[in-house]
């Protein structure tokens, strides 16, 4: 039997994205080189953590005078960035779903939502940036575009059913906006964004800590 482990988005991978964002910021400000402690301070971690993360992902380039920012960005892109257009689908054309199909930055980063799906025929007839199709057509679209990634923006109550269906159709990664913990097999990655929890944790700090 194939041995699989449950996949979770690792924190060091998340930090790699943060580093990239910081580096782009430094570049815009006109810098060419920087030290790990400068990058760490900007990203909110220690210089040790920066070096450890880079070492884990085999990102080199620390010389006297620090890292060359362009080289670092290329090395990080090498690790995290898909080179070609990535096709994905979205399920659930509520407020969040509609915002996401219109979110231009996805396309700039070569992430293309090829179709969205909703059970509501009224939504299917409306014009958005992408076609809105009935769920019965998911199979066809997933096969046609070799889709591996889906954005799930359906109500909590139907999220598990849709996730099961996506898995059966070969989806390997889900960005889940429904406020539920999905039960999924171990050869699929689920990344949860719970908007209420994110907002409530900000409130927590403003009330109890700051």
Q: Which of residues 100-119 bind its own copies (CB under 8 A)?
A: 100, 102-103, 105-106, 109, 111
Measured from the CB atom, is 70 or 156 closer to its own copies?
156
Q: Looking only at residues 8 through 47 of this chain, which bind its own copies when binding is defined by CB under 8 A? A: 8-9, 11, 13-14, 17-18, 21-22, 25, 42-44
Position 126 contacts its own copies (CB under 8 A): no
Q: Does 138 bind its own copies (CB under 8 A)?
A: no
Which of 72, 93, 149, 159 forms a contact with its own copies (CB under 8 A)? 149
Q: List the x/- string, 70-99, binding to its own copies by CB under 8 A.
A: ----------xxx---x-x------xx-xx
Q: What CA–CA distance (Å, rounded) separates 18 from 28?
A: 16
- Choice between 25 and 65, CB closer to its own copies: 25
Question: By the 8 A CB rule, do 49 and 36 touch?
Answer: no
Instruction: Decide if 110 contacts 85 (C-beta within 8 A).
Output: yes
Site string for its own copies, 166-195 (x = CB under 8 A): ------xxxx---xxx-----xxx-x-xxx
Q: By the criterion CB under 8 A, which residues form the site for its own copies? A: 6-9, 11, 13-14, 17-18, 21-22, 25, 42-44, 80-82, 86, 88, 95-96, 98-100, 102-103, 105-106, 109, 111, 148-149, 151, 172-175, 179-181, 187-189, 191, 193-207, 209-210
């Amino acid at each position: 039997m194939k041995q699989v482990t449950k996949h979770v988005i690792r924190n060091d991978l998340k930090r790699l994205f943060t580093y990239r964002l910081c580096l782009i910021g430094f570049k815009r400000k006109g810098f060419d080189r920087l030290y790990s402690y400068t990058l760490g301070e900007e990203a909110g971690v220690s210089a040790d953590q920066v070096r450890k993360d880079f070492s884990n992902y085999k990102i080199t380039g620390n010389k006297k005078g620090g890292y060359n920012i362009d080289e670092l960005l290329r090395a990080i892109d090498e690790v995290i960035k898909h080179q070609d257009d990535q096709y994905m689908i979205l399920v659930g054309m509520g407020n969040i779903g509609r915002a996401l199909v219109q979110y231009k930055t996805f396309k700039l980063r070569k992430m293309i939502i090829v179709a969205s799906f909703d059970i509501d025929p009224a939504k299917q007839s409306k014009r958005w940036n992408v076609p809105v199709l009935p769920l019965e057509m998911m199979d066809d679209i997933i096969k046609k575009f070799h889709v591996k990634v889906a954005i799930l923006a359906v109500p909590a109550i139907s999220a598990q059913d849709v996730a099961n269906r996506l898995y059966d159709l070969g989806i390997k990664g889900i960005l889940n906006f429904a406020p539920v913990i999905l039960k999924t097999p171990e050869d699929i990655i689920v990344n949860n964004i719970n908007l209420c929890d994110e907002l409530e944790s900000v409130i927590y700090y403003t009330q109890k800590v700051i």
